[in-house]
Amino acid sequence: MIELDERVFRYLHATFGTAGWVSLMATLTVLGSGWGASLVVPLLVRPPTRRFGATLTAVLVVTATVVFLLKAIVRRKRPYLALEGVRALVFEAPTDHSFPSGHASGSFAFASFVAYVLLRSKVTGGGAWRWVLSLALLVLAAAIGLSRVVLGVHFPGDVLVGATLGGCFGVLGARYHLSRSGAAVGGRGDGQPT
């Protein structure tokens, strides 16, 4: 399994780590870092979205804490330290451990939380925009995970486990939010995402 992980890493790193792709990958990595979480701040300010923002914040904090603990337990070296001829591209190389990917975890926690709430809440209006936005968020989260491999700082397995972890926490948090707000399809409440 580790050999396959390394082989897929080398392919992605070599294929997309070229000048034409690196700028896009760097942008995705910045978006998936802690700066992306700042999108939650306006939700915390407005009373109609405060509960939504608070639950999403809690999901992101729990996800980050679990990632931090797993990194300390597993202690997997990053690709640029473990593989010969590999270097971290663009940014200063991270010094913490590789497994699981925090960028993938956080991005999928955010995307899956928002997507689940959008698709399961009784928001008024057409449903097509909710499906499009949900899909776009999940594709963006996957692209952020890919950027970490291309830039040489994570193995694909790190990203896959991070994405799974974040996705699970996002869905669990969304289910909790909807059950507490009564805004789920089939739930009690006025249907507004709070």
* pLDDT (tens digit per residue) in 7-51: 999 989 888 888 889 888 988 988 888 776 778 888 888 888 889
| DSSP characters over 124-170 | SS-SHHHHHHHHHHHHHHHHHHHHHHHTTS--HHHHHHHHHHHHHHH
187 inside domain = no
Instruction: Check which CATH number belongs to the domain holding 123 and give it.
Output: 1.20.144
Count of domains for the chain: 1
Query: Which letter does DSSP use for residue 92 in this model?
Result: P
* pLDDT (tens digit per residue) in 104-151: 999 999 999 999 999 888 765 667 888 999 999 999 999 999 999 999
Question: Domain range holding 168?
Answer: 2-181
